[in-house]
Amino acid sequence: MMKTPEIGKYYGAYLNYLVEELGVNPEDIHLAGHSLGAHISGFAAREVKSGKIGRITGLDPALPGFDIGLVSSGTLSSSDADFVDVIHTCAGFLGYKLPIGHADFYPNGGGPPQPGCSVLKFMEACSHGRSWKIFANSLMKKDPYLARKCSSLGDVFTREPCAGDSVPIGDSTPSRTRGIFYSAIDEVEVLNADDENKI
């Protein structure tokens, strides 16, 4: 965890190579990172010298250590890219609880246990891993998961549907999306282990 800013610098150097040497438009770059990788993506994006990264998707950004300021570079932030969306699935335990993106999604209230994950499985990071599975499914599904906008973070934690506009979760989330969102996603809908080799 303490090395995440340093890893982000190396990753950022590669992004600069893509932009400056190969002519990739930074606005066309979409970074996605799970847990520590979410924060590393933010740190890497800050290193880009020419322009701003188009999008970062944070998949249950890691909480331990970041919640008490052990990493001086902070966390993934909405200022790291033109659009930052975050999927929270183990909020307050292994994943960051507070909204840190332009759009923050809290499937099933964002915290453990997620459907199909027991308290014991929580110790194996079952709920923490749901975020990347939901995102992977969004790359493969024709009908995306939908979430509704909530008026406050407190509304999310009631695990009741919110009444705002609905938007897709994952790859097809529009870049203009702003706010906090709730969605009920059943275990059945989440990518199962037999399908992981299709990614």
C-alpha torsion angle, residues 9, 11, 16, 21 (rounded to 10)? 140
- List the beta strands (DSSP E) in 4-120: 30-34, 55-59, 83-87, 103-107
Q: Which two tokens stand for residue 96?
A: 């960051």
Provide the residue count of the chain: 199
Distance, CA of 161 to CA of 159 (rounded, Å): 7
60 given a catalytic annotation: yes
Do 114 and 132 contact (CB within 8 A), yes or no? no
Distance, CA of 76 to CA of 57 (rounded, Å): 10
Per-residue DSSP letter, 97: -
Angle (CA) 138 75 86, round 5°: 20
128 given a catalytic annotation: yes
Distance, CA of 112 to CA of 104 (rounded, Å): 16
39 given a catalytic annotation: no
Task: Pick the catalytic residue from 34, 35, 80, 171.
Answer: 35
Task: Pick the catalytic residue from 34, 39, 102, 128.
Answer: 128
Task: Pick the catalytic residue from 34, 39, 41, 60.
Answer: 60
Q: Which residue is it, tokens 């009920």?
A: 184
Per-residue DSSP letter, 146: E
Residues that are catalytic: 35, 60, 128
